[in-house]
Structure formats: C-alpha cells, structure tokens
Amino acid sequence: MNKKVRVRFAPSPTGYLHLGSFRTALFNYLFAHHHGGKFILRIEDTDQSRKVEGAVENLINILNEMGLSYDEGPDAGGEFGPYFQSQRLELYRKYCDELLAGGHAYYAFESAEELEEMRRVQQMQGKQTMYDRRARNLTDNEVKERLASGIPYVIRLKVPIDSEIRFTDLIRGNVKIDTNLVDDQVLLKGDGFPTYHLANVIDDHLMNISHIIRGEEWLTSVPKHIILYNAFGWEIPQMAHVPLILNPDKTKLSKRQGDVATEDYLKKGYLREALLNFMALLGWNPGEGEEKEIFSKEELINLFSIERVNSAGAVFNIDKLNWMNGEYIKKYDINELTELILPYLNSGGIDTSDLAKTKRVVFAIKNYLNRLDEAYEQAKVYYSSVSLSDAQNDIICNEISKQVFAALTSKVDALLEITIDNFKPLLSEVQKETGVKGKNLFMPVRLALTGEEHGPELGLIAYVLGKEEVLKRLKI
Ligand code: GLU
C-alpha cells in the first residue's frame, strides 16, 4: 500500500446504530489497524430533516462500548476537522462555486411541482425518471436575472453526456456505467445545505481518505462521485462496497424482522466481544480451510483483508450468534461476568448482596447460557428458599431419608469447603454405605437443598449454597 491508510466511518446519525453500519465501522476499523493507518469518524449531518436529538452521543457511546475507538473525530480531535459536516458548510459552498466557475455544475430553478410533473410525464412515457437537464439551456443572463429576483434554486452536477465511467471496486471488481444513466444530481440544496454527494466527496478529499469502505447501497452513487473527483482534478480514493446483511429469507435485514440496532443486542445480553467476532465474520472470512470461528479483536486485525470480503449478501444467522455468545460466556473472566450478570439478576428481584455466592451462581450457570438475559431463569433456583408440600415433607422425613442425611452430613462436615466437583462423589459414598440409591437417594437431598423436585445438578447446587448452608438444610 503506497498511500498512508486513512479510512472513515461516515454515518448520518439516526438515533441508533444499525447492525449494517456497525459492520461497516468494524471493517474500517480492522482495515485501518491491519495497515497501521488511521480510523476516522465523520458525522454526516447535513440533512436537517433527519436530525434526531441525542443521536450523535448515542452513536459515540456505542462505538466506544464496542471498542471501536477512532483516531480522529468529533470528540477525538484531529488536524482535518471539524468532523461534523454541519460545521463545514462554508467549505461546500466554496467548492460548489468552483464547480460552477469551471462549468461542472449549474443553477436550476424548478419548483417541486415542476419536478413532480416532469417525473409524472416520464413515468407515463415509460422512461427512467431523472432530471431532464432543462436548466442547462439557460443563458448566463437568464440565470443572473433569476438569481437577482430571488427565485429559489439548487445547484446541479453537469454529468458528461455520452461518456462512460469505469472504476474498480476492491470487492466487486470492474464496474462500468454509461453517464447518460446518471442523474444531474443536486449538489447544493435550496436551503444552502450540500447533498450527501457533494459533502462526502469534498470531505473524503480534504481528510485525505485513502480507502472508502461502505455499504453496497452506495455503489450507485460512485459514478456521480467520480465525476466530481474528476471535475475537481482530485485523486480518487480506492473503494470497497460491502455486501448487504440479509434476513434468513434473503431480504434486506430490516426492522420488521427483528432487531437491527446494535445497542439492542447488548441489552439482550450479547457480549461485545462475541458480537464483534460474529459481525466480523458476516461477509468476511479469514481464508480457505480456516475452521476456527472464535477470534479476538487482535486476531481479526491481523487477519483482516478487504479481498476476503464476499460480494454476495451475508445472511444474519441468529443461532450462530447465540452459539458464539455462549462460547464467550463460558470462557469469560468470572468476576467480570458476574458484574455483567448482576443487573439481570437484580431486575428479576434476586438479592445479590452476597457477592461470593453470586459468583458461585454465575460459575454454576455460565455453561448453560447463550445470552446474559437468560441468567435470571437459570439462577433463581439457587436463591429460592425451601418450602415443601406435605407430601414432599413426608419424603424428607422418612427413615430412609434421615439415614441418607446423616451419612451425607458427616461427609460434608469433613470437607474444608464444597467445590464444584467434590459433592457428587459424596453421594456415591453415601449410596455404598447406606445401600440407598436412585430416586430414594437423590430426591430427598434435592428437596432438602432446594425445595424443588427438578433442577440443576446436585453438585452445582451444593457448591453454590456452600458448606454451611448445605449442612443447615440437611438438618431436618
Ligand atoms: N452518510 C452515509 C451513511 O449514512 C455515508 C456513506 C459513505 O460512507 O459514503 O451511510
């Protein structure tokens, strides 16, 4: 790579981070780090009608939470700022004037009604709906007069006629487009704000962006951008358009078919490491024959390459995410995992003030979780108090049970503490000693310890309750 790698994530803040945008940010991040380059956050907030209160803060929070820190951006600073497009308006106007002066752009004065009528007629005639370029024919004087009399205007791109745009996308290969199919895009709107196309090209150039990695939905904008780069005489960054994320039925991943907000996945109890790992493998793979699926962020950085991003859409497989999350949960540091699980237990009404016990609970349940929000269901048995029906009471009070409890009590007493695996062998010893086995052995113990007839392994239950509590509960 000869040019210094500088990539950007350029969201228009909508109030939440769509999974597709998150993946775009992630690929940019991995690419930048792989090449020792810079990852930049630029907020594309020029569409005033789409402004959402708190959207930028939310976006920054979620990027931070997911560990995608940027080298330059709104709150990170950098020598190419400001990183909010809404703070760069003068720049866009200046460059737009340059385009006008060079004959690459022109004023157009049609009202919304006129444009609507144009579209209606084109539709009726079965033509592609696009601006019919009528304002190109205005003379300089006509333009001046209209401007002087204050008629609202936009500035449009003068797309070259009968020409061809070619470019090579790093994921899709060679692309070629007939310019007669490219609309004379509005560059500067009636409200004086630039459109996405103008601002995006200017900023990518001024911010020295080397590679543009973004969603496939922007592929159709590339010809307009290339025309702009050429008009300015600027070098065109390399481009990579990442495929869409699809629902299992191959439709575009959308709100209708489940959650698309990255933050919702965190709330549901997906670990950020798991989500990051999973999203990195959505549309990218580390190489032929690579069976491994669990990768740390560092490994992903080492392995990442744009060439290995598929050009076909990537199906979002929630079962795989669940599996992967479960794998991460199993191996997570127990103290950190406990911290993460506490809110889920508390909101279910569990008193977690005995932190040592809660840690044991987490240790006992972690292998059974795919998501952290399943913790409450798994954990509650360890906190329930013992209250038995008459029939159950009869079971634990009969002579056989008493014999079992007596034998078990002396064995538990002899232990320094109950560990994750030293309780079950005691039950085998009790069986040998007393001759009681099967249901007659296990049911009274289970009832005495939990008050329930079914539940997790007795060894786990005893470990979580701890020696003292087990002895207390065996004292019938
Ligand atoms: N503002 C555009 C978006 O919301 C950025 C597209 C691009 O990366 O060029 O996705």
- What does the pLDDT look like over 141-184, one tens digit per residue? 999 999 999 999 999 999 999 999 999 999 999 999 999 999 99
Residue 220 lies in a domain: yes
Would you state the pLDDT for residue 42?
98
Residue 113 lies in a domain: yes
- What does the pLDDT look like over 190-207, one tens digit per residue? 989 999 999 999 999 999
Question: Strand 211-215 and strand 238-242: pairing?
Answer: parallel
Domain that holds residue 152: 90-188
Confidence grade of residue 424 (pLDDT, cut at 50, 70, 90):
very high
> Quick one: 94 and 67 in the same domain?
no
Q: Which helix (H) or strand (E) holds 275?
A: helix 272-280
Q: For a pocket test of ligand 1, which of 22, 218, 228 has the largest count of ligand atoms closer than 8 A to its C-beta? A: 218
Catalytic residue positions?
A: 255
Confidence grade of residue 1 (pLDDT, cut at 50, 70, 90):
low
Residue 358 lies in a domain: no
Identify the bridge partners of residue 185 per DSSP, sorted by sequence position: none
Confidence grade of residue 259 (pLDDT, cut at 50, 70, 90):
confident
Residue nearest to atom 6 of ligand 1 (CA): 10
From the CB of 10, is ligand 1 less than 6 Å away? Answer: yes
> Quick one: 24 and 111 in the same domain?
no
Would you state the pLDDT for residue 290?
77
Identify the bridge partners of residue 215 per DSSP, sorted by sequence position: 242
Residue 258 has pLDDT above 70, yes or no: no
Q: Is the dihedral of CA 21, 26, 32, 34 positive or negative?
A: negative
> Quick one: 142 and 61 in the same domain?
no
> Quick one: 234 and 96 in the same domain?
no
Residue 254 has pLDDT above 80, yes or no: no
| Mean per-residue pLDDT of the chain | 95
From the CB of 200, is ligand 1 less than 6 Å away? Answer: yes
Would you state the pLDDT for residue 249?
87
Residue 236 lies in a domain: yes
Task: Give the CATH number for residue 21.
Answer: 3.40.50.620
The answer to whether the beta carbons of residues 409 and 471 sit under 8 Å apart is: yes
- What does the pLDDT look like over 64-114, one tens digit per residue? 999 999 999 999 999 999 999 999 999 999 999 999 999 999 999 999 999
From the CB of 214, is ligand 1 less than 6 Å away? Answer: yes
> Quick one: 461 and 394 in the same domain?
yes
Would you state the pLDDT for residue 385?
80
Would you state the pLDDT for residue 476?
78
Q: How far is CA 176 from CA 128, 137, 164, 247, in A?
A: 19, 28, 7, 29
What percent of the residues of the chain are helix, what percent strand, and what percent coil, each to the nearest 5? Answer: 50, 10, 35
Euclidean distance between CA atoms 234 and 344, whole angstroms:
53
| Average pLDDT, integer, range 385-389 | 87
Instruction: Calculate the dihedral angle through the C-alpha atoms of 174, 167, 311, 214, rounding to the nearest 10 degrees.
Output: 180
Residue nearest to atom 3 of ligand 1 (CA): 11
Query: In ligand 1, which atom is closest to the CA atom of 221?
Result: 9
Query: In ligand 1, which atom is closest to the CA atom of 196?
Result: 1
Residue nearest to atom 5 of ligand 1 (CA): 10
> Quick one: 68 and 157 in the same domain?
no
> Quick one: 184 and 205 in the same domain?
no
> Quick one: 99 and 180 in the same domain?
yes
> Quick one: 36 and 59 in the same domain?
yes
From the CB of 110, is ligand 1 less than 6 Å away? Answer: no
Would you state the pLDDT for residue 256?
66
- What does the pLDDT look like over 267-292, one tens digit per residue? 999 999 999 999 999 999 998 777 89
> Quick one: 148 and 236 in the same domain?
no
Query: In ligand 1, which atom is closest to the CA atom of 44?
Result: 1
Q: For a pocket test of ligand 1, which of 7, 31, 200, 244 has the largest count of ligand atoms closer than 8 A to its C-beta? A: 200
Distance 281 CA to ligand 1 centre (A): 22
Distance 232 CA to ligand 1 centre (A): 21
Confidence grade of residue 341 (pLDDT, cut at 50, 70, 90):
very high
Residue 300 has pLDDT above 70, yes or no: yes
Residue 290 lies in a domain: no
| Average pLDDT, integer, range 458-472 | 95
Residue nearest to atom 2 of ligand 1 (CA): 11
Question: Strand 314-315 and strand 186-188: pairing?
Answer: unpaired
Task: Give the CATH number for residue 447.
Answer: 1.10.10.350
From the CB of 11, is ligand 1 less than 6 Å away? Answer: yes
Would you state the pLDDT for residue 381?
86
Distance 12 CA to ligand 1 centre (A): 7
Would you state the pLDDT for residue 49?
79
Of 163, 158, 168, nearest in space to 212 by CA: 168
Residue 257 has pLDDT above 70, yes or no: no
Residue 258 lies in a domain: no
Structure tokens at 364: 């006992």
Q: For a pocket test of ligand 1, which of 12, 16, 17 has the largest count of ligand atoms closer than 8 A to its C-beta? A: 12
DSSP track, 142-188 = HHHHHHHTT---EEEE-PPTT-EEEEEETTTEEEEEEGGGS---EEE
The answer to whether the beta carbons of residues 128 and 181 sit under 8 Å apart is: yes
Question: Strand 245-246 and strand 6-9: pairing?
Answer: unpaired
Residue for token pair 């200017």: 202
- What does the pLDDT look like over 9-28, one tens digit per residue? 999 998 899 999 999 999 99
Distance 103 CA to ligand 1 centre (A): 27
From the CB of 12, is ligand 1 less than 6 Å away? Answer: yes
Residue 315 lies in a domain: no
Ranges of H-type helices in 318-369:
318-331, 334-347, 355-365
> Quick one: 430 and 407 in the same domain?
yes
Query: In ligand 1, which atom is closest to the CA atom of 8?
Result: 8
Domains: count for the chain = 3
> Among residues 188, 221, 255, which one ends one of the domains?
188
pTM above 0.85, yes or no: yes
> Among residues 212, 227, 245, which one ends one of the domains?
245
Euclidean distance between CA atoms 416 and 467, whole angstroms:
8
Distance 17 CA to ligand 1 centre (A): 13
> Quick one: 118 and 167 in the same domain?
yes
Would you state the pLDDT for residue 273?
97
Q: How many separate helices (H) and strands (E) can be counted in the chain?
A: 19, 11
Task: Give the CATH number for residue 144.
Answer: 3.90.800.10
Residue 263 lies in a domain: no
Q: For a pocket test of ligand 1, which of 84, 196, 244 has the largest count of ligand atoms closer than 8 A to its C-beta? A: 196
Would you state the pLDDT for residue 2?
63
Of 228, 209, 188, nearest in space to 90 by CA: 188
